């Protein structure tokens, strides 16, 4: 029997769907049309890397409650949103009725190549996948589908929890307060990691208080990008957004870590094979 590559975890596909389905209403309530993490870090990077033009076709993979898809519809693009969790899609449809034919939402596992092929070969100008690849049990079928769905020269923009700084399997965040001789008080915000290079599946939460734990899949940056490079993609844009303000009430929130990016955003394009 052929062994799965070390970064693929297909045995957890059902867990992923069930956990996200159970957490969907909580997620919808907390995320709404974008929480501060999304509005400050995720959306600006995804939006500028996507660089959408009116009339383009956008596929938003793992769209959740559809808030980013709705924001992108404001650019005058046609949007298709897909998600593995049926309840996320129900919530996305309920919140998007005013967009009529400009938006459609479908329940689909982005790692189901056969199902995704029904969306149309080389149909999309751009594909986004916000904060979700670390939630996906498999990444190779995703890369193959994205390559098959994008028009030549089309762009694929994804964000993930930064694999080096915010992949919380044994991640520890700390603030050290030093009182200096000259009376200054210096706070240093730091991240300590002890696991990085080995892909691992673990459990965690996306938003504190969610009903059930979800699966996460840590993959180092080299593994993550090589899966796409092997499909003929090249990277031509990258951002590592950080918060700019401070939240003194919550010292260990990412808002206070101005030197450590919690999100990695990448734009990939398919190289023209010349055929
Ligand atoms: C952290 S949420 C992000 C949702 C949305 N993109 C956003 O930025 O708000 C991750 C989403 O990935 C979806 N997901 C996980 N694995 C998936 C898969 N294989 N195919 C499609 N969606 C998937 C989950 O159901 C969940 O809605």
Q: pLDDT in tens for each of the 275 residues of the chain?
A: 678 899 999 999 999 999 999 999 999 999 999 999 999 999 999 999 999 999 999 999 999 999 999 999 999 999 999 999 999 999 999 999 999 999 999 999 999 999 999 999 999 999 999 999 999 999 999 999 999 999 999 999 999 999 999 997 789 999 999 999 999 999 899 999 999 999 999 999 999 999 999 999 999 999 999 999 999 999 999 999 999 887 777 888 898 999 999 999 999 998 865 44
Is 1 contained in some domain?
A: no
Q: Is the CB of 116 under 6 A from ligand 1?
A: no
Q: In terms of DSSP bridges, do strands 150-161 and 124-130 run parallel, antiparallel, or are they unpaired?
A: parallel
Number of domains in the chain: 1
Cβ-count burial of 17 within 10 angstroms (0-12 exposed, 13-18 middle, 19+ buried)?
A: middle
E strands in 8-166: 57-61, 78-83, 103-107, 124-130, 150-161
CATH of the domain at 255: 3.40.50.150
Q: Is the CB of 111 under 6 A from ligand 1?
A: yes
Q: Which atom of ligand 1 is nearest to the CA of 60?
A: 6
Question: If you take atom 9 of ligand 1, which residue's CA is the nearest one?
Answer: 64
The Å distance, Cα 82 to ligand 1 centre, comes to 9
Distance of CA 270 to the CA centre of its chain: 19
Whole-angstrom Cα distance, residue 262 to residue 249? Answer: 19
State the DSSP code for 41.
I
Q: Is the CB of 69 under 6 A from ligand 1?
A: no
Distance of CA 76 to the CA centre of its chain: 23
Is 90 contained in some domain?
A: yes
Is 2 contained in some domain?
A: no
Q: Is the pTM of this model over 0.85?
A: yes
The Å distance, Cα 213 to ligand 1 centre, comes to 14
Q: Which domain holds residue 226?
A: 10-270
**Spatial contact of 23 and 214, defined as CB atoms under 8 Å apart:** yes
Distance of CA 107 to the CA centre of its chain: 17
Whole-angstrom Cα distance, residue 20 to residue 85? Answer: 6
Distance of CA 187 to the CA centre of its chain: 30
Structure tokens that stand for 238 in this block: 């990258």
């Amino acid at each position: 029997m052929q062994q799965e590559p070390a970064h693929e975890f297909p045995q957890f596909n059902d867990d992923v769907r069930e956990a996200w389905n159970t957490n969907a209403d909580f997620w919808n309530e907390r995320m709404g049309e974008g929480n501060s993490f999304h509005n400050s870090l995720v959306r600006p990077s995804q939006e500028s890397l996507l660089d959408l033009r009116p009339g383009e076709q956008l596929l938003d993979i793992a769209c959740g409650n559809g808030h980013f898809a709705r924001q992108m519809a404001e650019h005058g693009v046609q949007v298709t949103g897909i998600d593995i969790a049926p309840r996320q899609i129900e919530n996305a449809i309920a919140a998007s009725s005013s967009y009529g034919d400009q938006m459609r939402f479908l329940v689909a596992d982005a790692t189901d190549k056969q199902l995704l092929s029904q969306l149309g070969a080389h149909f999309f100008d751009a594909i986004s996948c916000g904060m979700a690849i670390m939630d996906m049990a498999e990444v190779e079928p995703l890369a193959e589908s994205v390559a098959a769905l994008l028009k030549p020269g089309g762009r694929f923009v994804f964000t993930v929890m930064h694999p080096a700084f915010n992949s919380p399997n044994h991640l520890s965040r700390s603030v050290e307060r030093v009182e200096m001789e000259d009376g200054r008080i210096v706070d240093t915000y730091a991240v300590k990691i002890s696991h990085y290079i080995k892909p691992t599946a673990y459990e965690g939460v996306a938003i504190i208080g969610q009903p059930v734990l979800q699966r996460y899949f840590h993959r180092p940056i080299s593994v993550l990008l090589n899966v796409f490079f092997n499909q003929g993609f090249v990277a031509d844009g990258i951002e590592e957004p950080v918060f700019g303000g401070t939240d003194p009430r919550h010292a260990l929130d990412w808002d206070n870590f101005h030197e450590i990016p919690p999100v990695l955003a990448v734009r990939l394009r398919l190289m023209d094979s010349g055929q």
